[in-house]
Structure 1
Amino acid sequence: MDSSLTPQVLADPVALTRALVDIESVSGNEKEIADAVFAALVPNERLTVERLGHTIIARTRLQREQRVVLAGHLDTVPLAGNFPSTVDDERIWGCGTSDMKSGTALALHLATRDADPQFDVTYFFYECEEVERERNGLNKVAASHPELLQADFAILLEPTYGLVEAGCQGTLRVRVTVPGRRAHSARSWLGRNAIHDAGELLTRLSEYKAREVEIDGCLYREGLNAVRITGGVAGNVIPDLCEVEVNFRFAPDRSEEEAARHVREVLGGFDVTLMDVAGGALPGLGAAPAKAFIDAVGSAPNAKLGWTDVARFAALGVPALNYGPGDPNLAHTREEHVEIAKIESGAEVLRRWLFG
C-alpha cells in the first residue's frame, strides 16, 4: 500500500482527499495514484478488484437485489503552481481538490470500510477523464467489458457543491466553412471576402433562441454558440476561406441524430461538417436507489448543465446522476480548493445511503 494511504487515512475522507491530491496525476501520469488505490483496495476481502490500465474496478458480491455504481476519475488537468496541497481551517487547496479527488476520496473511503452496504456496489477509479474520450478509462471499460458498467443506478462523484445534478446535456461540435475569392486588398472588388460572408452565420448564432426544457423537474437550457473562428492569409490579401467552430449543448431529450439535424437546419445554406457529438443523459430519477439517495441528500435535484460520464451509463440504460463535494466553478483554476465541511457532509450522506 502507498505509505500515504494508511488505514487511518482511508478512514478519514478529509485526510484521504489531501493524500490523493498530493499524488501528482496529470492525465496520462496516473500510474502512481492507480498503484496506491489498487493496493488500498486489495486487502478488503469483501471486494473483487480488477485493473485495466490505470483504471481500478472494485466490486462487492453480496447477492443484493440491486447494484449501484460509484465512480471517480484519478487524473487532473496540468498543474498551475498549486501542487502539493495546502490546508487551512476550512479548505484544502490544490490541483484536483474540487475536480475531483475529493469525490474520488469519498468512493475510496466507502470501498475500504469494514461493513457491508445495503446494495451491491461497483467502484470505478478511472484514468484520463480530462482528455480525449479515446483515452478515457470508462470508455475503455465500456468497449472491452461493458458488463462491468451494468447496474441499477450510478453516481458520478463530479463536483456539484453537495447538490444533486441529474443527467447531463449532450454536446456537439461542427465546423462551418465559408468560401470566398482571394484578391489583393488594394483591389478588393476583384475578390470575395470570406470573413465578411461569415457575418450572416454569426448573426444567426447571436439571434438564436435557445430552448429550455423541463425533465423530471430539472430545467435544461440549450445553447448554440460560435467558439472559434479562423481566417485570413496576410495583411494585404482578401481571404478566400473562413472557418467557424460551433458548439451545441442540447437537452437530453434530443438524440445525437436529432441534435445534428437541428444544427444543420439552423445553419442551412452553409457548409457544415460534424466534428464530434456525445449524447446527453436523462435524469432517471425514478429508479428506487436514486429516490433513496435524493432523500438522503435532502434537497431537490438540478439539471446538469454540461457533459459528464453519466452519459456512458445512460447509454447502457443505467440511470445516473452527479454528486460531489467540490465546487464546479473552481475546477481547473489556480485557486482550486474544496471546503472541508462539504467533504464531511458528502461522506455522511453517502454512508447513510449505502450503509443505513
Structure 2
Amino acid sequence: MALDLTADVVALTEALVNVESVSRNEQALADLVADALDPLAHLAVTRVGNSLVARTELGRTERVVIAGHLDTVPLNDNLPARNDGTLLHGLGTCDMKGGVAVALKLAAEVTSPDRDVTFVFYEGEEIASEFNGLRLIAEARPDLLACDFAILMEPSNAGVEAGCQGTLRVEVTTRGERAHSARSWRGVNAIHGAAEVLARLTAYQARRPVIDGLEYHEGLNAVLISGGVATNVI
C-alpha cells in the first residue's frame, strides 16, 4: 500500500484512517508517510522515531510550522472507515487524520510558498507526554521545530483557535480492609471510599477564565478507575 498525495483529500483521509495507528503503534503509518514525502524534491525529510519532519529550505525570512499527530485513541469497533456520502466515519477521521491529510496535500502541492514551511507529523500525542513526538523531536533536534508561527491541524470546525490549556493528571488511591462480601461489616470498602471523590468532581463548577481576551473552558474529570480483587471480596 502507498499513500496517493494526488488523491482527493477525502480519499486521502480515508486511506490514513484505514491504517490503524493507536498510540505506540504508529510505525506502519509513519512508514507510509515517509515513503510519500521522501520523493518530493522541494522537501528535506527527517525522521525521529515514528515522527516525520519535512521542511522547505527556500531561504525565506519567516518560517511556519504546520503540525499534526499520527496516533489515535484506542479502537472502538470503528474501523475501517465508512463514507455515507455526507460524512466520513471512523477512528481518527476528526482527531486528526483529516488534518493530517490536509497537511500532506499542502506538503506535496505547495512547492514554493512565500514563507518556508515545516510540516510535522508526529507520534504519541494521545498518551503520556514522555511518548509525545514533539517532545522527542525537541530533545533530539530542536532546530527542526524553529519557526515564527505554528499551526496545529487539530479539529476546530474550520475555525482558528488559539492557546492550549495544559493538563494535570492526579491519581487518587483509597485503601480498605479485605473481607468477604457476605460479611462486609468486617472490612472497609475502598471502592465506596472513592464516592466522595467522584461526588466532588460531579459537583465541581468548571471555571471559564479569560486570558488576553481568550476564554478558556476548564475541565476536571475522572477518566479511569480500577479496583477490587474478586466479586465476593470487598
TM-score range, shorter-chain basis?
0.7 to 0.9
Aligned Cα root-mean-square deviation (Å): 3.2
**Which stretch shows the higher mean deviation, 213-222 or 63-72?**
213-222
Q: 1:212 aligns with which of 208, 213, 217?
A: 208
Q: 1:122 aligned to 2:118?
A: yes
- Superposition TM-score, scaled by structure 2 size: 0.80
Whether 1:63 aligns to 2:59 is: yes
- Residue 34 of structure 2, aligned match among 31, 34, 38: 38
2:161 is aligned with 1:165? yes
Q: Name whichever structure is richer in strand by fraction.
A: 1
* 1:145 maps onto 2:137 in alignment: no
| 1:93 equivalent in alignment to 2:89 | yes
Determine helix, strand or coil for the equivalent of 2:54: strand
Residue 120 of structure 1 and its aligned partner are, at CA, apart by 1.2
* Alignment-mate amino acid for residue 66 of structure 2: L
**CA displacement, residues 96-141 of structure 1 (integer Å, 9 cap, x when unaligned):** 2222111101111111115311221110112233333333222211
Q: Give me the whole-angstrom Cα distance separating, in 2, the residues matched to 1:74 and 1:173.
A: 23
Q: Number of aligned pairs?
A: 233
Q: How far 1:57 moved relative to its partner?
A: 0.6
User: Retained in 1: the 8 A contact 2:50–2:133?
Assistant: yes
Query: Cα offset for 1:45?
Result: 2.3
Shift of 1:77: 3.5
SS of the aligned residue for 1:138 comes to helix
Give, in angstroms, the shift of residue 70 of structure 1: 0.7
* Unaligned stretches of 5+ residues in structure 1: 240-356
Cα 1:203/1:35, change in 2 over 3 Å: closer
Matched with 2:21 is 25
Amino acid at match of 1:51: R
CA 234–214 in structure 1, closer or farther in 2 if over 3 Å, else same: same
1:204–1:150 CA distance, 2 compared to 1 (3 A): same
Mapped to 2, the partners of 1:197 and 1:131 lie a distance apart of 28
Pairing 1:1-356 to 2, within 5 Å after superposition: 3-5=2-4, 8-9=6-7, 12-178=8-174, 188=185, 201-202=197-198, 204-228=200-224
Write the distance in 2 (CA, Å) between the matches of 1:203 and 1:3.
50
The answer to whether the 8 A contact 2:2-2:36 is kept is: no
Quote how far apart the aligned CAs of 1:150 are. 2.1
Distance 2:205 2:87 in 1: 40
Structure 2 gap segments, 5+ residues each? none
How far has the Cα of 1:63 moved from its partner?
2.0
Amino acid of the structure 1 residue aligned with 2:96:
M
Q: How far apart are the structure 1 equivalents of 2:210 and 2:43?
A: 39
Q: Which amino acid aligns with 1:213?
A: P
**For residue 55 of structure 1, what is the amino acid of its counterpart?**
S
Amino acid at match of 1:8: T
Q: Which has the higher contact order (CA 8 A, sep 6+)?
A: 1
CA distance in 2, matches of 1:169, 1:69: 20
